């Protein structure tokens, strides 16, 4: 079985792939190429996927931080924790705001939230090591 930090990195990569898929589908929906109930369902599934993968990755990161025996506890930069919260919360909150406003172009909201989430994930990779 791979080490916990390796699984932590793989889950972060999976979150980035799902967020990129959400950004792509959000852009297609925003442009009007993808429409209808099925598109909204897939957008919601991708948002939920990012939420679940990032939440599991945060829990795994906490376990890894507790089990580290090299004397160093936690990430190299404390901002890693801030970026983790941004990656966890931005996309679901943006989707909820679009739903609250009954936005006609929900896809653009998801696209923007996905880009912020991807940016946070990139910063996580830069601050974790």
Looking at the structure of the chain, the number of domains it has is 1
* Per-residue pLDDT tens digits for 15-50: 999 999 999 999 999 888 878 888 889 999 999 999
**Structural domain that includes position 114:** 4-128
pLDDT at position 104: 73
* Per-residue pLDDT tens digits for 68-117: 655 566 677 888 889 999 999 999 999 988 888 887 788 899 999 999 99
SS3 for 37-99, per residue? HHHHHHHHHHHHHHHHHHHHHHHHHHHHHHHCCCCCCCCCCCHHHHHHHHHHHHHHHHHHHHH
pTM (two decimals): 0.88
């Amino acid at each position: 079985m791979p080490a916990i930090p390796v699984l932590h990195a793989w889950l972060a990569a999976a979150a980035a792939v799902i967020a990129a898929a959400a950004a792509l589908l959000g852009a297609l929906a925003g442009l009007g190429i993808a429409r209808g109930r099925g598109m909204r369902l897939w957008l919601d599934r991708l948002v939920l996927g990012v939420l679940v993968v990032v939440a599991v990755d945060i829990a795994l990161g906490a376990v890894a931080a507790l089990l580290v025996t090299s004397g160093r506890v936690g990430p190299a930069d404390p901002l890693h924790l801030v970026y983790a919260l941004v990656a966890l919360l931005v996309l679901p909150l943006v989707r909820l705001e679009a739903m609250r406003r009954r936005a006609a172009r929900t896809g653009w909201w998801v696209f923007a939230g996905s880009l912020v989430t991807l940016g946070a994930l990139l910063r996580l990779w830069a601050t974790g090591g």
